[in-house]
A and B are shown apart, each in its own frame.
Chain A
Amino acid sequence: MSDAFAILDLLHQNFGASTFTQQPTVDDIPTLWLPKEKIISVTTYLKTGIPQPYNLLYDLCGMDERDRAGKEKLPVKDFTVIYHLFSFERNSFIRLKVALEGEYPSTPSITGQFKNANWYEREVYDMFGIKFEGHPHLQRILMPLTWEGHPLRKEHPARATEIGPYRLLNETIDREQNALQFKPEEWGMQRESDDADFMFLNIGPQHPGTHGVLRIVLQLDGEDIVDAVPEIGFHHRGAEKMGERQSWHTYIPYTDRIDYLGGVMNNLAYLLAVEKLAGIVVPDRVKVIRVMLCELFRISSHLVWFGTFAQDVGQLSPVFYMFTDREKVFDIIEAVCGGRMHPNWFRIGGVAQDLPNGWDGLVRDFVQYFPKKIKEYTDMVIRNSLFKGRTKGIGIYTLEEAIEWGVTGPGLRACGYEWDFRKKRPYSGYEMFNFDIPTAQNGDCYDRAVVRVEELWQSLRIVEQCLNNMPEGSYKADHPLTTPPLKKYTMQDIETLITHFLNVSWGPVIPAGEAMSCIEATKGANSYYLVSDGNTSSYRTRIRTPSFPHMQMVPYVSKGYTVADLLSILGSVDFVLADIDR
């Protein structure tokens, strides 16, 4: 990991050692505190001033530090804005923190440096009330415009029952309706050009092509899209706030619901961060079980995408066949986890139960059955020239643009860049498996589709390797923080029973610290950045989801195309609204 810290010397040389305060973290990401006046020059330097630059703004989030226990040891003030930058060429992260003082502080905006900072800064403003000077349009993004208060501030109530009953009075209706009215001027849009009046068209919040509750306001010149404004937040459930209330253990079911097509993949992203904090190393059997379940979920998620995408561009049958096959994946998942879309099956330090008898038969059947299905679907959809006509050359972005906007996952690989976190920063034992990274060249809708189809093959390969090489051993780590401890001991020995009592009632106490996980989820890079102040629940849970930056990019890639193309673009991006809004 010495590589990751090599950047510190460069920064010290350029900005003086006194600018930065380094903070040790358990996830080995260099973490630097710096004054807010320096943030623009430092990010510019990291992005453009060095060889192997930090060219991806991976995440940007805020944090309310006022109640944090043990904060005296850190240069914290009332609020912190945290920047995660990533360098592909160095394969390393850097975490920058800016401490802010005051009730509603402000800090310079980095939208000039990174295009995708726009939505992230709006989110921080929405959640904490922190202002970003120089932001082009600092407006709430997840909460309704009429919302009072900023939800992730510690004084904001965590549950509806603390606010008092909600009443829908006539005035409220008027106010809410008014707030939903789209005003083009606010977004710097003209209502007409020299030779045409623009039309403003709402797509959604209820529209089959948006795959969920999403509203996109289009500025149209005839059929052509001049500009678009996605409006998100309809699916916002406050998952990050809940993380501050639930214990480390009882938060696991909530993670299922972030990318609800990804199932256990969400558990994994969360638990990898928790396990880093707790210092748990899981046995190999756990790793392989986890990988197998994750890849099954990747297959199931890609099948949903595949079917709905085909449907978006006009093929009505495939979605039925693909959902039938998804059922086959779910049969395995149900037999193993007991749940289907919300398996809630990984645990701190392991998984909930051991694999059931006969699991291998189920998986083997599927591994034998599925290849001919992928071939059939490839013939039916990918080879179909109508499908090609609707997707080739549509929604193109280049690799530079993808990185500028924070695109990860299949969308990035479709631009010809073989970046896969499973390969490049292996976690949970992915280094033990053989698989390839599918890539395409053109970065259009068609290429994104073929990359995902190829990923089905690769996932199947991984599942097969798990099947043939499942290690023996325990399904839980032997560690005091493993929650809950192995039950067969609980029933007999009092020591374990007490641990069991404490861990499932108050929850395990995770040592103070900070850690971020990073996994290749079904749709791109998914991370949980967890801050513990040594309590039974997290002090701050930050969920970086892939769909959020991907949706932010949609207006940029859809300009100049027609409304019908927009649906191809939306389908090819493969987002889940719950993953965007959290």
Chain B
Amino acid sequence: MQSLTNRVKPVDRKPMTFLEKIYLWEIAKGMMITIKHFFKRKPTIKYPEQKREFSSVFRGLHILNRDEQGRERCTACGLCAVACPAEAITMEAAERKTGEEHLYREEKYAARYEINMLRCIFCGLCEEACPKDAIYLSQTFTPSNLTRAQFIYKKDDLLIPDPNKDPEQYAKALGDRKRPQ
């Protein structure tokens, strides 16, 4: 078929030389390349002693966020649960009572909040859906577990440490994300 444009780039197709036809030489050449790689820096890391860095937007395990005063940000609006394509999130809402203002930022809060990590596909749509900046995906993996039940993360597993009581852990869990966006 004739050429349609002049933007074609025919690839290189040199015939084999005599040396190439004696395959032995090629094997030696190939081995040389492999041996050279022995002396290069290792690209692997020794997990679990050594861990690789994740990017700041990495989508790992979920964290339920608190505000600066240590109050839970979630208002149990349910947006994350309906936005979740894998239907991994279950929650129950409750009304905040008087005297609980130091615990919950909004008048409604999540009394129960569960994520099934076996269903979750770590797509991050829950984080994107949340209008309260209350849930985000952190820079860690979900650790392995022995039973299925252990993969259902409860509110206690997900909540970030209180910044007033445990600022160190709080900062660690927050990672180097800038938030709110």
Contact = CB atoms under 8 A, between A and B. Distances in A.
Interface of A: 246, 249-254, 315, 317, 321, 324, 327, 331, 334-339, 342, 344, 352-353, 356, 376, 379-380, 383-386, 388-389, 399, 416-419, 423-424, 436-441, 447, 450-451, 453-454, 458, 484, 487-488, 490-491, 497, 500-501, 504-506
B43 interface: yes
Contacts of B21: 385
Contact of B7 (A385, A418, A451): A418
B106 to A, nearest CB: 14
A400 to B, nearest CB: 9
A321 to B, nearest CB: 7
Contacts of B1: 399, 416-417
A356 B129 contact: no
Given A317-B33, A423-B7, A439-B9, A386 B26 contact: yes
Interface string B1-24: 101110111111100100011010
B26 A246 contact: no
B141 interface: no
B11 A440 contact: yes
Contacts of B180: 491
A386 B20 CA distance: 8
Nearest to B55: A335
A441 B13 contact: yes
Contacts of B124: 338-339, 344, 352
Given A334-B57, A339-B123, A389-B23, 12 more contacts: A250-B125, A253-B125, A331-B55, A334-B55, A385-B16, A386-B23, A418-B5, A436-B9, A439-B9, A454-B11, A505-B79, A505-B83
Interface of B: 1, 3-5, 7-13, 16, 20-21, 23, 26-27, 29-30, 33-34, 37, 43, 54-59, 78-79, 82-85, 121-125, 128-129, 131, 133, 137, 180-181
A363 to B, nearest CB: 14
Contacts of B16: 385, 388
Nearest to A250: B85
Contacts of A379: 33
A500 B43 contact: no
A417 B1 CA distance: 7
A504 B129 contact: yes
A450 B57 contact: no
A353 B7 contact: no
Contacts of B123: 252-253, 339, 342, 344
Contacts of A344: 123-125
30 contacts: A253-B85, A317-B33, A317-B34, A327-B43, A331-B55, A338-B55, A338-B57, A338-B58, A339-B59, A342-B122, A356-B56, A379-B33, A380-B30, A383-B20, A384-B30, A388-B20, A424-B4, A438-B9, A438-B10, A450-B12, A458-B9, A484-B129, A487-B128, A487-B181, A491-B180, A497-B131, A500-B131, A501-B131, A504-B129, A505-B79
Given A338-B55, A342-B121, A451-B11, A385 B83 contact: no
